[in-house]
Amino acid sequence: MAKVLYTAEATVAGGRANGHGRTSDGVLDVDLRLPTEMGGAGGGTNPEQLFAVGWAACFEGALGAVARRQRVEADDASIDSKVSLLPTGDGGFKLAGELHVTLPSVSGDAAVELVRAAHQVCPYSNATRGNIDVVLTANGAPVD
C-alpha cells in the first residue's frame, strides 16, 4: 500500500434525514437534512452537496497542479459542480456528476486538454471514473 498522505476523520449520527456530522478537528460541523426536493424539511446540508463541494475543490487543486506542470496560467479557474442522486430501479440509488470548468486565461483546445489531464489526476475523478456517469466541460466545450 502507498504511503498515506492524509486521512480525514468524521463522525455522523442520525443519518442524512436528521443527522449531524463533525470532523475530528471540529472545523466542519454540520446539520444533515433531507432536501425539500426529496420531501424533507431542508435547513441543513446533505451528502450530495458535500460531495459536490469536495469534488470541485479537489478538481481545482488537480487543475492547478497540471497547469503548473504545463506552465499554463490557470489561477482564475472556477468550477460549477453538480452531484445528482438517482434511483437504480431496484430499490437502490446511484450518483451522477458534472464538473463545468471555466478557465478565463485558457482558451479552446488547451482548456479542454487541461481539464482532461486534471480528470486523470484528481482523486475524486479517479474514484468516480467507471462507477458513475460524469459530464465534464471546459469553457462550455465538452471534454471526452
Task: Outline which parts of the chain fall under CATH 3.30.300.20.
Answer: 47-143
CATH superfamily of 47-143: K homology (KH) domain (3.30.300.20)
| Grid cell locating 48 | 450530495
Backbone angles phi, psi at 45, to 5 degrees: -95, 180
pLDDT in tens, 122-143: 999 999 999 999 999 999 999 9
Q: How far apart are CA 122 and CA 2, in angstroms?
A: 16
- What pLDDT score was predicted for residue 78? 98
| Grid cell locating 9 | 476523520
- What pLDDT score was predicted for residue 10? 98
| Grid cell locating 133 | 456517469
- The helix/strand count (H/E) of the chain reads as 4, 7
Q: How far apart are CA 120 and CA 126, in angstroms?
A: 7
Q: How far apart are CA 124 and CA 136, in angstroms?
A: 13
Split at pLDDT 50, 70, 90, the class of 1 is confident
- What pLDDT score was predicted for residue 124? 98
CATH class of this structure's domain 1-45? mainly beta
Q: How far apart are CA 29 and CA 95, in angstroms?
A: 24
- What pLDDT score was predicted for residue 16? 93
pTM above 0.85, yes or no: yes
Split at pLDDT 50, 70, 90, the class of 118 is very high
pLDDT in tens, 29-48: 999 999 999 999 999 999 99
Using only the alpha carbons of the chain, give its radius of gyration: 17
pLDDT in tens, 60-109: 999 999 999 999 999 999 999 999 999 999 999 999 999 999 999 999 99
Which of 67, 141, 77 is closest to 109 using CA atoms? 141
Per-residue buried b or exposed e for 60-92, using 16+ beta carbons within 10 Å of the residue's own CB: bebbeebbeeeebebeebebebebebeeeeeee
Task: Outline which parts of the chain fall under CATH 2.20.25.10.
Answer: 1-45
**How far from 137 is each of 104, 109, 119, CA to CA, in Å?**
13, 11, 11
CA 86 to chain CA centroid, Å, is: 16
Split at pLDDT 50, 70, 90, the class of 7 is very high
